[in-house]
Amino acid sequence: MLPSVPSPRGGARLPLDWGLLADAPMLWLQRWNFVARARLERELWEAFEAGRDIEAMVAERGRLAATDPAERLRHEVWQTTCPRIRRIEAMMRNR
């Protein structure tokens, strides 16, 4: 069982990701930095607009994230952004 921390809203305890905290303590805080996340999302959008293969970019970041803790946040953001880009692309194509 993973150690847990109290929920900020007083509900159930939240599991504590020791791996993320041990590798790079400030990265845990960056996950909640909306400006940083928006910049990372914009990187992927710009690559899409330039015609690059964003799925390959996400896969490459996944390989880098396995060895470099600093790349974990970028990979996490790109993983969630890529399907949204494709969904919007399909929606615009069907208009």
Instruction: Report whether pLDDT(43) > 60.
Output: yes
pLDDT of residue 28: 65
Q: For residues 49 and 6, give the distance between their C-alpha atoms in angstroms, rounded to a whole number.
A: 42
The amino acid at 17: D
Q: For residues 35 and 17, give the distance between their C-alpha atoms in angstroms, rounded to a whole number.
A: 23
For all residues of the chain together, what is the average pLDDT?
80
Q: 58 near 68, Cβ under 8 Å?
A: no
Instruction: Report whether pLDDT(50) > 80.
Output: yes
Select the more confidently predicted residue: 35 or 24: 35
The amino acid at 66: A
Nearby residues of 5 by Cβ (< 8 Å), 6 or more positions away: 13, 14, 16
Select the more confidently predicted residue: 23 or 83: 83
- Model confidence at 34, in pLDDT bands (50, 70, 90)? confident
Domain ranges of the chain: 26-93
Alpha-carbon dihedral 41, 42, 48, 49, rounded to 10 degrees? 160
- C-alpha distance across the termini of the chain, in Å: 49
